[in-house]
Structure 1
Amino acid sequence: MSKPPVIAPVASATVDAIVADVVALRRSMAALQAREARLLATAFTAVRAEAGGARPGSVEAELPVRSLAAELGAALRVSDRSVQRQLGEAVTLTERFPATFAALAAGRVSRAHVAVIMDAGAHLTDPEARAVFEAAVLPYAEAESASRLKPVARVRAEKVVPSSLQERHDRARARRGVRVNDLDDGMSELTAVLPAVLAHGCYDRLTRMAHEVRAVERDGQAVAGGATGGSGTNLAADAAPLTGAATDPPGDAAPTARSMDELRADILADLLLTGAPEAHDGPTGLAAIHATVEVTVPVLTLLGQDAGPVDLAGYGPIDPATARHLAGHAPGWDRILTHPVTGAVLAVDRYRPSEQIRRALRVRDRHCRFPGCRQPTWRCDIDHTHDAAHGGKTRICNLAHLCRRHHILKHHTAWCVTQLADGVLQWTSPTGRIYRDVPVSSVAFSSVDSLDRDPPPF
C-alpha cells in the first residue's frame, strides 16, 4: 500500500495561515452581526415607543414598525417582511438572551448557533430559567457545530423547564403553513408543514390512489369518476399538461409510464385544484349575492364638507354610512358628481375598475408595486395612487396593485407615492428617501438595447 503524499512545509504554512485568517474573519462577521442586531433592536424599541398607549398587536401599534421595516427593506433592496422578522428576532436576542448575544458579539458562536439556542429556549418565559439554560448550553455551543448543538439545546431546555409532549406539539402546530419555493426550468416546490398524523395520512392516501392509477394504466382500463392526470379527468387519464402526466408519443412508441412520485404529484395537484374544501366552503345564500350600485354623491359630501344624503338609484336618499357599506361590498359602482346648488351632473366616474382595466393592470404589474415586494396580483388590492376621494381617476395611469400590508402602509403612515409615465411608481419614505419601482412587464418586454440604455430603478 502506497503512503499518502506528505504536504510540503510551505503549503502547510499557507493553509495554516488561511485557516487562521478565515477563523478571524468569521469572528469579525459574528461581531458585525451582533452590532446589526443591536441597531435593529434599538430602532424597533424607538418606533414602538411612538405607538404610545396603542394596544399590543393592534394595527396602530404595528404601523410604526411596518414603516421602519419598509424603510430598511427599500434601502437594502430586500423584502420588508423579512426585515420585520429580523427586527423581532433582534429584540428577542438582545432582550431575552443577553448571554447568547454577548457570545455572538465576542465571536465565540455563530449566527447559526444563536438561531438554535433561541429556538430551543423560545418556550422559557422566566428570565431566570433562560439564564440557567444559556449557562448550560453556551459552553457546548462554543465547542461544537450548530447541527450538533440542536438536540443538546432542546434537552437542556427541557431540563430547565420541563414541558409535556402536548405543549410542545401545540407550539409546533402553531407554526404549520404552506409555502412555495420557485425552482428553475418552470418548476416550483410546494411545501406544507402539517401535524405528523395529517401529513402521513395525506401521503398514504396519495400512495394508495397512485397504486390504483398504476394498476388501471397497466391494464389499459378506464375508471370513471376518479381524479388524476389532470383537472377534471379520470383515474386512468394519461394526458395532463397541467400536472405533467405522460402523453402518448408519436408513432408506435409505448407511452411513458409515470413513477410513483410523479403519480403522487399529479394526484395532489388534481385534488387541490378540483376538490372542494369540506370545512372551508365559500359564502352561500345572501352572502353569495353581489350588487351593482349606482350612488349619487354631492361634491361637498365627497370632500367631507357636508353630511348631505346620498341618492341610491331605484330607492331614494340613504345615509352615507349605508352607501359606504354597499359600495364596499359591491364588485362595481358608479360615482356621479353633482353641483351642490343646481344639482347638475358634473362628472360620472367608476370607482372600481372594469375587468378590462384589471386585466391590463395584472399584465403590467405582475405583483405588489411596493419596492421589494413580490406578493402576486391576486393577493393584492387595486389602489388609486391619487386617492379617489380627492379626485383621483379610475384609470390605468392612476392605479396599481398593492398587497394589503403596503396598501395600509400607504394610507396610514408618512409613506407617499406618485405614478410617473409608463406605470413607474416613485415612493418617498418618511425620511425623504426616494425609491422607484418599474413595472416588471417593462423589463420583461423591453429589448436588450433599451435595457442597456435605461438607468437602473434605484
Structure 2
Amino acid sequence: MDLQRWCSLSQSPLPMGDTGDSLGDEYWMIRDAVELEDGSMLPSAEFGDALEAGLDAVGAAYDQTQRAQAFVVENIYRAHDVYVRSRDAVLAHSSAESHPGQLSDDQAMERSFVSEIAAKIGVTDRIAEGMIREAITLIDDLPQVMDAFRVGFTSYLHARTAARQAWSLPVEARADFDDAIVGAARTQSPTRFTQTARKLREKLHPESIQTRKNTAFDERRVEHDPAEDGMAYLSLYHSADVTTSIVEQATTRARALRAAGDPRTLRQIEADLIAESSTTGMLVTTASTADDDSADTPVTDTSDDTEGTGSTNAAPSDSGTVTLTRAQFAALRPGVVITVPALSLIGRSAEPADLAGYGPIDPDTANTLIGQATSFVRVLTDPLTGAHRHTDPKKYRLSEKMKREIRLRDVTCDFLECNAPAIYCDIDHIQAWEDGGLSTAANLHALCRRHHTLKHTTNWTPRRLPDGRVQWTSPTGINYVTRRE
C-alpha cells in the first residue's frame, strides 16, 4: 500500500472482532493502517497529543535525572572537603609493626573516604573512587563544563568523559582543556564528544605520547567481571598494537573457519580462539617452568582426599585449533574454590554450587571442575551451626589448614561490597590479638590487603554479630553489615 492510498483511507471506526467494538485512539498503530482495508482510520489529533506529551515526559525525567546527578557530584565534593578536615576522627595512628601496608596519613584519609562513599551508596571501592575523582576534577579543574552540567546544557556522560580525559593532563593544562571542550560538550552527542575530547587532550598535552605510553604501559592488567547465567567478561588493558593484533588475528582466522563450514558464528569463533590460545599459551609456560604436578583445586565437600592425574599434551581439533584435555584445564585452575552441596555432588539435587569470586554455577559445570581437580580438601563443620571446627585458639600463628578453611568459609574479602577472592586475602583477627582476641573461627576473617590496611590505619572497626555476619563501624560512626548470600 503506497503513501497516497494510506492517506486516503476512511475515517470510519476500526472493527475489533465480532463485537464491533472500536479501537481506542490511544491504541492506534501504523500496522493497522497497512494491514487492514478501508475500515481503518488515521491517527487522531488526540493520539498525536498523547505521543507528544509522553515524549515531553521522557525528556523532563531525563533532565531531572541529570540535575540530580550534578547534585550528587557537588555533594560528594562537599563531603570530601569536610572529611579531609576530620583527620583525628578518621586516623588510627597505630604503632603496631605487624600490620600490613604503609600508608601516609593523606593516603589513609582518601582510602577511608572512598570506603565511606562506597558503603553509603552500595558500590565497590573502585566505582566510588572514580566518582570522587570525577567530582574533584569537575569542580576544581573544569568549572565551565561543570556549570554547563549544573544547568542542564550537557549530560553526566559528557561531564564524566571530560573529567576522565583531563586526568592525564597536568593541572596547569586543564583550564585550557576546559575552555576548548565546553562548546563541544553542549552540542555534540556523547559518542562524538568522546572522540573530540580525546583529540583535544592529545593536542594540549605537554608530554610526548611516547612518554605517556611508557607510563600507561605500567598499568597493564587483566580484569574479570562476572555476568549472568554462568558467564563472565575478561578484559585486557594492554598496548593498543598488542590488542589490535589479537583481534585482527582472531577475526582473520574466524572468517577462514567460517568459510570452511564452521557452524559457529564469527563472534563465537573469535571468542573460542582467544580463549583456547590463551589457555594453551599459559599451559606451555607452566610446563616449561614447573613440574608436571598441577596445583590443587580445593573443593568444600565431605569426600576423602583424592588424587587425579592426566595427560599434559594438547590435542588439535578438526578445525585446526587446539583443544585442551580435562587434565590440562585442571592444570590451569590453581586456587579455584568451589563449594558444592552434598546432594548436588551425588546428583540428587539441582541446587547450584558456588564458585569463589563469581557466585552460583550450575551443578554440571561444578562436577566437571571437580572431575578435573587433582585433590580435594575436606572441611568439617558443626552439624548444628554449620560453623567450621578449629583448634588452638590461643596460638597467634595460624596453621595453613586453618587459613585455608577460613578462606573456604568466607569465599571473598569480608569488607563491605568487596568481592576479592579469599584465596588472595590475608587472615585477620577481628578483635586484635594484642587486645585479647583469640584465633577462633568467630574472631577470624579474610580481608584483602587493601581493606586489611584500611582497618589498621583508620578507625574502621569490625564486630562479629551473633548471626555470624560482620558489622563494620566507619569513622563517622555509621554501622554497616557485610551481607553474604
Instruction: Name the TM-score, length of structure 2 as normaliser.
Output: 0.59
Pick closer, same or farther for the CA change 1:139–1:393 going to 2, 3 Å: same
The offset of 1:409, in angstroms, is: 1.7
CA distance in 2, matches of 1:365, 1:266: 31
CA distance in 2, matches of 1:188, 1:350: 40
Pick closer, same or farther for the CA change 1:380–1:273 going to 2, 3 Å: farther
Matched with 2:447 is: 402
CA distance in 2, matches of 1:359, 1:270: 29
1:106 to 151, 175, 190: 151
CA distance in 2, matches of 1:80, 1:157: 27
CA distance in 1, matches of 2:393, 2:61: 66
Between 1:367-376 and 1:167-176, the stretch displaced more is 167-176
1:17 to 31, 53, 62: 53
1:169 to 2:216 alignment: no
Q: Secondary structure at the match of 1:133?
A: helix
Matched with 1:244 is: none
Q: What is the letter of the counterpart of residue 269 of structure 1? A: T
Pick closer, same or farther for the CA change 1:181–1:172 going to 2, 3 Å: same
Q: What is the letter of the counterpart of residue 182 of structure 2? A: L
CA distance in 1, matches of 2:429, 2:171: 48
Q: What is the letter of the counterpart of residue 36 of structure 1? A: V
Matched with 1:79 is: 124
Q: What is the letter of the counterpart of residue 38 of structure 1? A: E
Q: What is the letter of the counterpart of residue 177 of structure 1? A: R
The offset of 1:204, in angstroms, is: 7.4
Matched with 2:76 is: 40
Matched with 1:421 is: 466
The offset of 1:174, in angstroms, is: 5.0
Pick closer, same or farther for the CA change 1:358–1:93 going to 2, 3 Å: same
The offset of 1:28, in angstroms, is: 2.4
1:358 to 391, 394, 403: 403
Matched with 2:280 is: 270
CA distance in 1, matches of 2:284, 2:465: 41
CA distance in 2, matches of 1:143, 1:15: 26
Q: What is the letter of the counterpart of residue 408 of structure 2? A: V
| Contact 1:369–1:425 (Cα < 8 Å) also in 2 | yes
Pick closer, same or farther for the CA change 1:48–1:434 going to 2, 3 Å: closer
CA distance in 2, matches of 1:270, 1:177: 19
Pick closer, same or farther for the CA change 1:169–1:359 going to 2, 3 Å: closer
Q: What is the letter of the counterpart of residue 181 of structure 1? A: D
The offset of 1:172, in angstroms, is: 4.8
CA distance in 2, matches of 1:202, 1:106: 44
Higher relative contact order (CA 8 A, sep 6+): 2
1:178 to 2:222 alignment: yes
| Contact 1:26–1:107 (Cα < 8 Å) also in 2 | no
Pick closer, same or farther for the CA change 1:260–1:173 going to 2, 3 Å: closer
The offset of 1:50, in angstroms, is: 4.8
The offset of 1:375, in angstroms, is: 0.9
Pick closer, same or farther for the CA change 1:424–1:196 going to 2, 3 Å: same
Pick closer, same or farther for the CA change 1:7–1:97 going to 2, 3 Å: farther
CA distance in 2, matches of 1:27, 1:260: 40
Pick closer, same or farther for the CA change 1:206–1:139 going to 2, 3 Å: closer
Q: Secondary structure at the match of 2:187?
A: coil
Matched with 1:305 is: none
Pick closer, same or farther for the CA change 1:83–1:123 going to 2, 3 Å: closer
1:149 to 2:193 alignment: yes
Q: What is the letter of the counterpart of residue 12 of structure 1? A: G
Q: What is the letter of the counterpart of residue 30 of structure 1? A: Q
| Contact 1:371–1:437 (Cα < 8 Å) also in 2 | yes
| Contact 1:180–1:190 (Cα < 8 Å) also in 2 | yes
Pick closer, same or farther for the CA change 1:158–1:188 going to 2, 3 Å: closer
The offset of 1:102, in angstroms, is: 0.7
Pick closer, same or farther for the CA change 1:260–1:402 going to 2, 3 Å: closer
The offset of 1:108, in angstroms, is: 0.8
Between 1:397-406 and 1:22-31, the stretch displaced more is 22-31
Pick closer, same or farther for the CA change 1:404–1:147 going to 2, 3 Å: same
Aligned residue runs from structure 1 range 197-236, under 5 A: 197-200=241-244
CA distance in 1, matches of 2:441, 2:126: 27
Between 1:148-157 and 1:85-94, the stretch displaced more is 148-157
Between 1:366-375 and 1:153-162, the stretch displaced more is 153-162
CA distance in 2, matches of 1:423, 1:19: 50
Matched with 1:433 is: 478
| Contact 2:408–2:422 (Cα < 8 Å) also in 1 | no
| Contact 2:67–2:151 (Cα < 8 Å) also in 1 | yes
Once the two structures are superposed, residues 34-62 of structure 1 have per-residue CA deviations (whole angstroms, 9 ceiling, x without a partner) of 2211121122233334569x9xx953212
2:419 to 374, 378, 391: 374
Pick closer, same or farther for the CA change 1:131–1:68 going to 2, 3 Å: closer
CA distance in 2, matches of 1:195, 1:383: 37
The offset of 1:437, in angstroms, is: 2.1
CA distance in 2, matches of 1:145, 1:207: 30
Matched with 1:192 is: 236
Q: How many residues align?
A: 329
Pick closer, same or farther for the CA change 1:186–1:170 going to 2, 3 Å: same
| Contact 1:206–1:268 (Cα < 8 Å) also in 2 | no
Tell me how large the CA RMSD over aligned residues is: 3.7
Matched with 1:133 is: 177
Pick closer, same or farther for the CA change 1:65–1:157 going to 2, 3 Å: closer
CA distance in 2, matches of 1:206, 1:15: 46
Once the two structures are superposed, residues 303-339 of structure 1 have per-residue CA deviations (whole angstroms, 9 ceiling, x without a partner) of xxxxxxxxxxxxxxxxxxxxxxxxxxxxxxxxxxxxx
Once the two structures are superposed, residues 1-30 of structure 1 have per-residue CA deviations (whole angstroms, 9 ceiling, x without a partner) of 244755432122222222223223222222
Pick closer, same or farther for the CA change 1:382–1:265 going to 2, 3 Å: same
CA distance in 2, matches of 1:402, 1:13: 58
Q: Secondary structure at the match of 2:477?
A: coil
CA distance in 1, matches of 2:120, 2:69: 18
Instruction: Name the TM-score, length of structure 1 as normaliser.
Output: 0.62
Pick closer, same or farther for the CA change 1:87–1:277 going to 2, 3 Å: farther
| Contact 1:206–1:267 (Cα < 8 Å) also in 2 | no
Q: Secondary structure at the match of 1:350?
A: coil
